[in-house]
Amino acid sequence: MTQVSEQVSPSPQRKLLSWLFLIASVYAILLSVGMVGSGFKWASGGSEGARELFEFATNPFVALLIGILATSLVQSSSTVTSVVVGLVAGGLPIEIAIPMVMGANIGTTITNTLVSLGHIRKKSEFRRAFAAATVHDFFNLICVAIFLPLEIIFGFLEKSSAWAMSHLMGADSMSIKGFNFIKPLTKPVISEIKHFLASVLPEKAAAIALIVLGILAIFGAITVIGRILRSLMVGRAKAILHGAIGRGPMTGIASGAVVTVLVQSSSTTTSLMVPLVGSGVFKPRDIYPFTLGANIGTTITALLAATALSGAGAAAGMQIALVHLFYNLLGVLVVYGLPFLREVPLNAAERLAEIATKRHSLAAAYVLTVFFIVPGICVAIMSALS
């Protein structure tokens, strides 16, 4: 094992270059989130215009489905939640954004479910791998089933995040305390981009172009960050994974969060575990807490993105980032903390794995139906009716 790690370890020069690219990519996220927010303000003419722009998603269930579908398509909840932070800063109402964030949690589980299909030729391996993958699906589905109705009725996530956000923001400038240096780094660049686009395109087209460029930049930056961190940290991440599993739920949850921060992708964290379960090294029960930690660790990207915001939109942007964090922490506390709920995702995943092992076509049907067909059809119907 030591010889292999020595052979693949990068040279000091390559490590330095990787870290420089990483810093540049983090700056690109900060810049691109600001571009998305600025673009929507520009296109909609302020928060009231933004509300009209997003009237199609005033139904929280439509917003949830949009979150699922968008994350399933790009296979990155970090990308989608970072975009949502930018949209909220640009005027997307917080009550629409919260179900989108919940949907992103469901959509991100598609990656490890697809990884499990690689074991489909060997029945026993496939049953274990598919159960390990879908325990994440069922956990997130149960969280939505519990917390979305409560949020619709009581608005507890919106209220608690607003309270927490008020302690992080300066009352006068509404800029984040301790992060004021970010605004001078991003605002001049965004202003230059806006000026250039306005000089070559009509105002509305320029605003849309700024939004599109921002979204593409978020996607590209997060992809680069993921690749760099995987090359720098994946060996360390695997060591943490092996050292944590089987040492109790708290260790597993904490390690899952740490590994996800290291590789900047909950999909990567959970996908690392699926082959290990498939090969019989671990059981689905062993990796269950680790999966929950991945949910918590992935919130770091949206929190980082929110630090780039300034002005009135900074408050809303930080608020939705805090919603993402609180929602995932509450999911672990409630679903895993209550004994009668703790076993539900495991039992459901193992039962589905048994069925899918007998009829492989059902595994593919499950992926297509849950992540694409149902959300796509529902969004299309509700958009047509609105």
> What is the structure's pLDDT at 83?
82
- Amino acid at residue number 364: A
> Is 278 in contact with 132 (CB distance < 8 Å)?
yes
> What is the structure's pLDDT at 49?
46
> What is the structure's pLDDT at 339?
92
For 11-78, the DSSP string reads PHHHHHHHHHHHHHHHHHHHHHHHHHHHHHHHHHTSHHHHHHHTGGG-SHHHHHHHHHHHHHHHT-HH
Give me 370's structure tokens: 């849950």
Q: Is 307 helix (H, G, I), strand (E, B) or coil?
A: coil
How far is Cα 333 from Cα 325, in angstroms, rounded to an integer? 12
> For the purposes of burial, counting CB atoms within 10 Å of the CB of 342, is it exposed (0-12), middle (13-18) or buried (19 or more)?
middle
pLDDT along the chain (386 residues), means of 10: 45 76 75 71 55 60 85 76 83 88 88 81 87 92 94 93 78 42 69 84 83 78 68 60 69 84 72 79 86 89 77 80 95 94 94 90 84 78 66
Q: Compute CA distances 85 → 33, 156, 199, 274, 322, whole Å.
A: 7, 19, 27, 30, 10
> What is the structure's pLDDT at 41?
66
> What is the structure's pLDDT at 154?
93
pTM of the entire structure? Answer: 0.75
> What is the structure's pLDDT at 267?
72
